[in-house]
Amino acid sequence: MKSLLVLRHGKSDWSADWGAVDADRPLAKRGKKSAELVGRFISTTANVPNRAVCSPARRAADTLELAMVAGGWRCPVRAAGRLYGGGVAGIIGEVRGEPDSTEVLLVVGHEPDCSELISVLVGGGSFRVPTGALARLDCDVESWSAVGLRSGTLAFLVTPRLLSGVDLR
């Protein structure tokens, strides 16, 4: 059994001076706070990933870094362009390429890809992954190369709003 954590980047700051390149858009104050909450949730619930695959967008990379620092955990991270505009097929391609020694993989990406990925892996349904939310899918596979349609069960989907009232020390 493999566990896949799906984290949507935190709320971005549309009013910041980030130029014309969408990938350079930074996190808003609320996005930073939610990344820290999720990072602490990951560590206190023993969901620390062995590895992470992250969109190269600034808001995704910053979300991951803030989560790791606040949660007091680290793991090897690789940036993957397919997580920025590559759709669900791109994410699944990255997941399928993961070494089988990884038991818990964290994917940090964007919408609508995060919601659609969950739907594909559980075999249907409609999901909405708000900014800063984290989902865990338990995949009944021995190898990441076998991840695909109906290979996962949704264990949880938590939002920053839900976590804001929880003591995560």
User: Using CA atoms, how far apart are residues 151 and 121, in angstroms rounded to an integer?
Assistant: 5
CATH number assigned to the domain covering 2-122+133-163: 3.40.50.1240
User: Using CA atoms, how far apart are residues 119 and 73, in angstroms rounded to an integer?
Assistant: 29
**CB atoms inside a 10 Å sphere around CB 65:** 15
User: What's the predicted TM-score (pTM) here?
Assistant: 0.96
Which pLDDT belongs to residue 77?
A: 98
User: For the chain, what are the domain ranges?
Assistant: 2-122+133-163
Which pLDDT belongs to residue 68?
A: 98
* Residue from 3, 8, 35, 25 nearest 108 by CA: 8
- Angle, helices 113-122/87-96, rounded to nearest 10 degrees: 60
What does the pLDDT profile of the chain (169 residues) look like in tens digits? 999 999 999 999 888 777 778 888 999 999 999 999 999 999 999 999 999 999 999 999 999 999 999 999 999 999 999 999 999 999 999 999 999 999 999 999 999 999 999 999 999 999 999 999 999 999 999 999 999 999 999 999 999 999 887 777 7
**Omega cis (within 30) before 130:** no
Please give the single-letter amino acid code of residue 156: F
* Residue from 54, 55, 59, 53 nearest 24 by CA: 59
Which pLDDT belongs to residue 18?
A: 74
Which pLDDT belongs to residue 11?
A: 95
Which pLDDT belongs to residue 169?
A: 72
User: Using CA atoms, how far apart are residues 73 and 47, in angstroms rounded to an integer?
Assistant: 10
**CB atoms inside a 10 Å sphere around CB 78:** 11
